[in-house]
């Protein structure tokens, strides 16, 4: 008998529209719970192409959005007017309808490099964003999550697999990767793992096959396996073909 697969709750859907509606209902319920417990709530959301329908569905959910802070789990170092900006994705697709009054905590600042803005962004996110109440992660075809790419190296502290945010562990890093055209900034796993509700939003058969490998193969060094092995509570997968 081989090693046991890493724990993962699964919710599987026939199509992306059903998934978007269900994930929006779940995240809205989590945010309402956080608002009831401590009067404000914070959600970190993935970028890329996959989340658009989910963001649109979430923007229509009824809750006290004025007390909700939204931040991207990662950012491409591009101005918010750029089509590849994750902040633009949030503003165009989530900060609409009922969610128009939510507060955005951006990562991007108009500096030439993410390194130049790292300290002020890190400080602001640590003070105003963490701990998270909810985090929704996507995954790239190469197994990256947020902007934690395979070429960071498995020993990079940003991928450390254990524990909740101990003092002194950076919640945000600047990222240079061969895989993407632009430098980036990303929440680290220790920041993402502050969320008691952690979701993976993954669509398509290829990504599902990669996720299965990451879940079952202890030799896998991809960032997605570091999420599965390190999360303090098993994440919940929302998947559709
Ligand atoms: O670059 C990124 O890619 C991943 C996956 O994006 P997708 O387009 O394949 O859905 C995303 O989760 C991450 O936030 C983003 O910056």
Tokens of 28: 């809205």
Cβ burial of 184 (10 Å; 0-12, 13-18, 19+) is: buried
CATH of the domain at 177: 3.40.50.1360
Q: What pLDDT score was predicted for residue 160?
A: 64
On whether ipTM exceeds 0.85, the answer is: yes
Task: Select from 54, 138, 144 the residue to mutate for testing ligand 1; criterion: most ligand atoms less than 8 Å from CB.
Answer: 138
Q: What is the pLDDT of residue 169?
A: 74
Residue 2 within a domain: no
User: Is the confidence at residue 166, as pLDDT, over 80?
Assistant: no
**Where does ligand 1 bind, in terms of residues with CB under 6 Å?**
46-50, 73-74, 86, 138, 140, 146-147
Distance 38 CA to ligand 1 centre (A): 30
Q: Report yes or no on 3 lying in a domain.
A: no
Tell me what pLDDT residue 1 has: 67
Alpha carbon distance 26, 16 (integer Å): 15
> pLDDT, tens digit, for every residue of 95-127?
999 999 999 999 999 999 999 999 999 999 999
The rounded Å distance from CA 4 to ligand 1 centre is: 28
In a domain, 4, yes or no: no
For the stretch 13-44, pLDDT in tens is: 999 999 999 999 999 999 999 999 999 999 99
CA of 208 to the centre of ligand 1 (A): 15
Q: Is 55 left (phi over 0), alpha (psi -120 to 50) or beta?
A: alpha
Domain of 88, in residue numbers = 10-240
């Amino acid at each position: 008998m081989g090693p046991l697969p890493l724990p993962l709750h699964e919710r599987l859907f026939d199509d992306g529209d059903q998934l978007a509606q269900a994930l929006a209902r779940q995240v809205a319920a989590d945010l309402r719970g956080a608002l009831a417990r401590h009067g404000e709530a914070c959600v970190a959301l993935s970028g890329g192409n996959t989340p658009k329908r989910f963001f649109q569905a979430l923007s229509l959910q009824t809750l006290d959005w004025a007390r909700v802070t939204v931040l991207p789990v990662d950012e491409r170092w591009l101005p918010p007017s750029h089509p590849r900006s994750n902040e633009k994705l949030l503003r165009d697709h989530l900060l609409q309808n009922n969610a128009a009054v939510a507060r955005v905590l951006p990562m991007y600042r108009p500096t030439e490099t993410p390194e130049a803005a790292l300290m002020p962004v890190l400080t602001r996110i640590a003070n105003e964003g963490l701990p998270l109440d909810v985090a929704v992660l996507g995954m790239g075809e190469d197994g990256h999550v947020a902007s934690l790419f395979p070429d960071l190296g498995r020993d990079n502290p940003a991928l450390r697999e254990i524990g909740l945010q101990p003092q002194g562990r950076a919640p945000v890093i600047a990222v240079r990767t061969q895989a993407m055209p632009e430098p980036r900034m990303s929440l680290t796993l220790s920041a993402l793992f502050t969320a008691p509700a952690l979701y993976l939003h993954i669509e398509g058969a290829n990504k599902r096959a990669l996720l299965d490998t990451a879940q079952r193969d202890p030799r896998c060094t991809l960032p997605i396996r570091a999420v599965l092995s390190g999360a303090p509570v098993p994440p919940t997968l929302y998947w559709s073909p």
